Amino acid sequence: MSSMDDRKKAFENKYAHDAEMQFKAEARRDKKLAIWASELLGIDAADYTRALIKADMELAGAEDVIGKLIEDLSGKADEATIRSKVAEYDAEAKEEIMNEV
């Protein structure tokens, strides 16, 4: 029984660690996106970072962030460019997080 408990605890710890790493990567991705978008919009990056992170809390995944960026960057960047930046910054953020561990 003890080995099953140990396995269960190890699985729970790994799940919690993976969830934490995913959260950190998404927050880092959102910050990178906010800096990029704020430069296009000519607004303060810190304020836009907070707005984008708040938008990211609405739904699971990146679709809420993509939707906000599409709305805010209308006329400055098309959806394909936005999705490309999301993928680029997502990969960068995950790599950075993994290198920190």
For 2-25, the pLDDT digits (tens) are 788 778 888 888 888 878 888 889
Question: Element (H or E) spanning 14, and its range?
Answer: helix 2-41
Quick one: how far is CA 31 from the chain centroid?
8
Instruction: Give the whole-number percent of the chain exceeding pLDDT 90.
Output: 49
pTM (2 decimals)?
0.82
**Averaged confidence pLDDT in the chain:** 88
Task: For the chain, state the CA radius of gyration.
Answer: 17
Across residues 51-58, what is the average pLDDT?
Answer: 80
Q: How far is 84 from 99, CA to CA, in rounded Å?
A: 23
